[in-house]
Chain A
């Protein structure tokens, strides 16, 4: 077990998978000579050369489509988006291409592609650079959506995503790259579609993913001082959703808060709440409360930005609400 940053864990996953399988290559803006806009690909050009670590022009639609095509004939591209905000330019190739070819070819042609980059807000980047789009991708049958919150999950999930035979949308976070954590040595795989109990508890369940995991854990720590024992479930994979893990926790605690970074309307949390009311209605002792970004474009001003974002305080307040505590 070694301490590693989230960034270096991703880097290790890429390196190990590229060593393991010559079909794996990395393509994107600034991934090669610049060593990655966020240094996730640091050193890979040097190790694997320009055949497998490929700088592209700023043409998200074009090079994503080239990746989809390469995957349709059996390569395993990892396509890096400098941020997922720019991925909107490429989304036609993901939604109409990657997600559809297997089905509309009657199963003849697959698309083992990883489409990855940081999503959501960082600090004061303004409205166009601060968006969490996981619910857009999770809406599409044919795609898997993966969002690691810790360095260990980042490594284990990226390795699984690269080995998966489906198109996987792998959303990281600018605010997560420097986060440090323990990462198991050697071959370490985290299966897709499995949530993780980041903190066991018995009084209330906080369901979260990606950048809301740390605030949820912080909130749980404060709540413990008040005598509320919160369980924190990190979804890790948004699609396929680990329904079993969610329902098991609800059955245990009977109270739920669902936190996410993005907007609430038609968000990931809405899907989780749908599941809970359908499958665990009788387990609930209180209505489920959601915590999410304010329903506005992200403002630049730091006070307004803070007010817009989901955080530990808001999660704690939501827990009080579902526990009918003051």
Chain B
């Protein structure tokens, strides 16, 4: 399957189209993620956010398109570049920003940080910091759904570099063997830290690896939120009806460095390459399409930007003003509370 043309199969028209609300929501969600990440980068530079911090700028359509295909009771698990997915899943900007600030009001009470965002109520089962470590966990949630006889699906995100680690191969084999209701999403942004995929993988068409595990492997244009949603819909439907897992290789770009410590370009990738990747910006693509379809005008864009700016300003204020965790939190939650 080739890369889907931008918004190719979407032909809805006008502001009253049933698609208008949906597109509007996706656009807002993508803009929120971008502005949130820009602000996070700024706060990091000012020393308000510590540790490692991996931004999602450029990849917004992947989180928004995939998560639009899930039900609230489905499971989601990710790696450490997960701010965007947490927001798209429904965590508040306040809860995520406060976590980055290490505050008690953060989604993980200040004890997780950027790489470990959790919200059990949203079935957002974490950001995990060891490459590939979350892949079997995702299969485990799928296993539990099947064990309990529910029709929940589990969606697991990973970067393309994780496709070279043992847990990827072991998990995809077992998940297919047992027909687990799982969707494995490779977010291929081209670089594992500073190592280009072609320097790390014998096969750079990673979706082809699905053939080795007897599951569908689909290459998806990750800059096109509609294409991402459609591909994920198909994989989720297959999982939900008991036909087993799928592998989606969603091609995208990160406009920023691997983390806050490397430049967007200049060492392992050129400025030309980065500039070229920006030509197909996921937000611009959807915005342009919505304008063509008569669903959006300048005022509409300004409205979204203003609302998002207000939301983020509120989140930052909330994070700044929130209390630090109490000192005794150091010792809390190492073990479960004593059982009766």
Q: A: which residues have CB within 8 A of B? A: 25, 51, 56-57, 59, 61-75, 92-93, 96-97, 101-110, 112, 141-142, 144, 163-166
Residue pair A105, B170 in contact (C-beta under 8 Å): no
At the interface, yes or no: B253 with Cβ under 8 Å from chain A? no
Tell me, rounded to whole Å, the shortest Cβ–Cβ distance linking A72 to chain B. Answer: 6
Number of B interface residues in the complex (CB < 8 A): 44
Residue pair A67, B166 in contact (C-beta under 8 Å): no
At the interface, yes or no: B112 with Cβ under 8 Å from chain A? yes
Additional A-B contacts beyond A109-B126, A142-B335 (16; CB < 8 A): A59-B174, A61-B166, A62-B139, A62-B167, A63-B174, A65-B133, A65-B140, A69-B125, A69-B138, A69-B141, A75-B144, A103-B111, A103-B333, A103-B334, A105-B118, A166-B335
Q: What chain A residues lie within 8 Å of B257 (beta carbons)?
A: none
Tell me, rounded to whole Å, the shortest Cβ–Cβ distance linking A317 to chain B. Answer: 39
Residue pair A102, B336 in contact (C-beta under 8 Å): yes
Residue pair A102, B135 in contact (C-beta under 8 Å): no
Residue pair B139, A69 in contact (C-beta under 8 Å): yes
Interface of chain B: mostly helix, strand, loop or mixed: mixed
A252 to B118 Cα, complex, angstroms: 49
Query: How would residues 146 to 185 of chain B score, 1 for a CB under 8 Å from any chain A CB and 0 otherwise?
Result: 0110000000000000000011001101100100000000
A92 to B107 Cα, complex, angstroms: 24
Contact of B137 among A72, A74, A112, A166 (CB under 8 A): A72
At the interface, yes or no: B108 with Cβ under 8 Å from chain A? yes
A56 to B143 Cα, complex, angstroms: 13
Residue pair B336, A70 in contact (C-beta under 8 Å): no
Residue pair B133, A93 in contact (C-beta under 8 Å): yes
At the interface, yes or no: B75 with Cβ under 8 Å from chain A? yes
Known: A72-B141, A104-B108, A109-B125. A64 touches B136 (CB 8 A): yes
A197 to B317 Cα, complex, angstroms: 58
Q: What chain B residues lie within 8 Å of A104 (beta carbons)?
A: 108, 111-112, 116, 118, 126
A87 to B140 Cα, complex, angstroms: 18
Residue pair A73, B75 in contact (C-beta under 8 Å): yes
Known: A72-B125, A109-B125. A92 touches B130 (CB 8 A): yes
A102 to B120 Cα, complex, angstroms: 11
